[in-house]
Structures are given as structure tokens and as C-alpha cells.
Amino acid sequence: MRILVAGLLGCIAMFVWTSIAHMATPLDSAGMSHMANEPVVLSAMQKGVGGKAGFYFFPWVAPDDPQMMTKAAALMKVNPSGILIYQPPGASTSMTPMLIKEFAKELAQSLIAALLLSMSMIAGFFWRTLFVTLVGAFAVLGTDVSYGIWYGFPLSYTLAAMTIEIVGAFAAGLVIAWWFGRRTA
């Protein structure tokens, strides 16, 4: 029960911070740009993907092609490259399901951090907070940095995303460390 409560409290702290970060700071839009010819691009996207939602990588070379790397390098010399996450017109714009999923994700993160902390022999509020923060930093390095390396996400976007996540882990760490210290004091 101690881990569950710590995880829930950590999740609430993380959720509050990420809400503030996305609604009251410029971190949520760092690295994003407006397309100069957006109507032309949107029309081409609708035709190009056939209205099918998905995650697209371009230029495309089948991953099972033995010459994939050679073909991809040749195509990237003469074509733009990137990734596209496409939703067709009429896709849901309701924030409620996204917020519920985000809360569930942050609850899972906080529960994992609380479980790991409970299995450690770390004493002291500062060290418990640092432990949870470092667990969050470990996850961020494994995802956000890789997106910058492999997919070309802008550095400003990557740094902003890392900031949001690491500060979120710190916020969760503060509350989880407090809860665990409270129980042992």
C-alpha cells in the first residue's frame, strides 16, 4: 500500500507539473515550425497517404530489402526525408482521452519509481528525490535523445521535452521521497 500511495502522489505531482509546462510555458512548442505552403502540403498528404492514419517514414525503403541502407542513402541525397504522424480529417480532438492516457502513463512511471526506491536502501530525503529524478532521466535519455539522433528532432524540441520529463520526475521524486520518509520517521 505504501508503494501504491507513493506512486499515486508522485503521479499527481508529475501531472500537475506537465500540465503547467504545456499550458503556461513555451516548452510545449519548442522546435516546432509553421510550413510556408501548408494548404499545398496538407492536400498532398491527404492524397499521398490515402486518408489512412499512421506513422510514416520517408523516403521509404522496405526494411527487409538487403540493399535498404544503400537505397535509403541514395534517395536521401535527392529527396527530403523525415517522419509524419498523420491523422485524417475528422479525427477526434477531445482532450479527455489523451489526458486520461497521460495520467495513466505518469502513474505507471511513478509506481515503477516508487517500487525501485522501496527496493533500495537509500536514506535521506535528498538522496531519495535524486534517485527518482535519475530514474526519470534514464528514461528520457533512452527516448528523447534517440529521437533527435535517429529522426532528426530539433535540438530545441529535444531539450524542451527532456526538461518537461526530468522536472516531472523531480516533482514525483519530491513527493515519493517525502512519503517514504514520512513512513519511516
**pTM, to two decimals:** 0.84
pLDDT in tens, 110-166: 999 999 999 999 989 999 999 999 999 999 999 999 998 988 899 999 999 999 999
Q: Any idea which residue has 528514461 for its cell?
A: 139
pLDDT in tens, 165-180: 999 999 999 999 999 9
Q: Quick count: other Cβ atoms within 10 Å of Cβ 50?
A: 8
Q: What phi, psi does 143 have (nearest 5°)?
A: -115, -70
**pLDDT of 185 strictly over 80:** no
Listing DSSP states for 14-82 in one string gives HHHHHHHHHHHSGGGGTT----TTHHHHHHHHHHHHTT--EEEEES---TT-TTHHHHHHHHHHHS--E
Mean pLDDT of 19-42: 91
